Amino acid sequence: MAYLTAFVAHSDCGRHDTGWAHPEHQGRLPAILNAIYEDTPALLDAVMQAEAVPASEVDLLRVHTPGLLERVRAAVAEASRQGTQVSLDADTVVSAASWDAALAAAGCAITAVRLTLGGEVGSAFALSRPPGHHAGADYSMGFCLFNNVAVAARWAQVHHGIGRILIIDWDVHHGNGTQDIFYDDGAVHYLSLHQSPHYPGTGSARERGAGQGLGATTNVPVPAGMSRPAYMDTFREALDQALHAASPELVLISAGMDCLAGDPLGGLRLEPADVHQMTREVVDRARVPVVAVLEGGYAPRRVGLAVVNALRAFAGLPAKD
C-alpha cells in the first residue's frame, strides 16, 4: 500500500512523568492517540503508523553539549534514586524514565524525517514528548529537555546531505532554543509566529540572526486575542517570505498546539480546523518533504483534534470539526 503520510510514536514518550499537576503531563499523548484512533476509518488507507527508533547520544551531540547531556542524565538518575520528580528549573522536571523518553522524542522526529526523505511518505507527524523547542545547545527549559526539531534537522544534513532547511514554529511560545541553535547558521532558516509579550520573553522582530545566519531568523510576534482571519493572513505572508528566502529542501514544523483557543497557557484564538489549513498551506507552498513535530498544547482533547487535522491535511483529507 502506498501511504501518503505517517505518524510516528514511541511508547517511552509516555513514561516521562512530570506529575498530573504539571501542564505537560502524561495525559497528553493518550488524548492524541485516542483522537487518531477515533478517526481511523478516514485515515486508515492514507496514514502509515510507524514506531520510532530512539535517538542516539551521537544524534543529540550534533546539537547539544556533553555537559547538558550529563546534567539531564544526572537529574534522571537522582529522580530514580528518590522515586520522585527532580526539577531542572522552575518549569522543567524529570522522572526516572525521562532519559528514555527524551531519546524516544528526538527519535520520533528523526524517524519521521527518515521516512519522508527516504520516499516512503511525502510527510509525517512525530508525536514527540517531551517537547523540544525551548531547549538550547547547553540548556533545558520550558518543559523541554532536548531540541527534537534541531536534532532532526542536523540528522537530515548529515545522513541525506540536505543543504537548506526551513523550520516553521507556530507554538504560542517563542522557540528560543531553536533560534539560539541556528542563529548564525545560514543553511537553517527559522520562522516563528508567537504570542507577545509572553514566555519566554524572546522573539522580537529585531532578532534576525547573526554572521552567516543574518536574515535567516524571522520572528512574527502577534498579540493575544488576535482574530483567526488576521492570524491566517499574517501566517501566509510570513510563510511565503520565508519560503522565498530559504528555498528549502526540507520543511520542519514545530507544531505547538497551544496556539488553540482555550489553551491554559496561551491567549490565541485558533481552532483545530486552522491547524489543518496551516498544514495544508505549508505542503502546497513548499512542495518539498514536510515533517511536523509536536511541541506544546495543554488542552488534551483539543490538541488531539488538532493533530488529527494535521494528519488529514497531510493526507489530502478535509478538516474535521
> Could you list the active site residues?
134
3-class secondary structure for the chain? CCCCEEEEECHHHHHCCCCCCCCCCCCHHHHHHHHHHHCHHHHCCCEEEEECCCCCHHHHHCCCCHHHHHHHHHHHHHHHHHCCCEECCCCCEECCCHHHHHHHHHHHHHHHHHHHHCCCCCEEEECCCCCCCCCECCECECCECCCHHHHHHHHHHHHHCCCCEEEEECCCCCCHHHHHHHCCCCCEEEEEEEECCCCCCCCCCCCCCCHHHCCCEEEEEECCCCCHHHHHHHHHHHHHHHHHHHCCCEEEEEECHHHECCCCCCCCCECHHHHHHHHHHHHHHHCCCEEEEECCCCCHHHHHHHHHHHHHHHHCCCCCC
What is the amino acid identity at position 254?
Answer: S
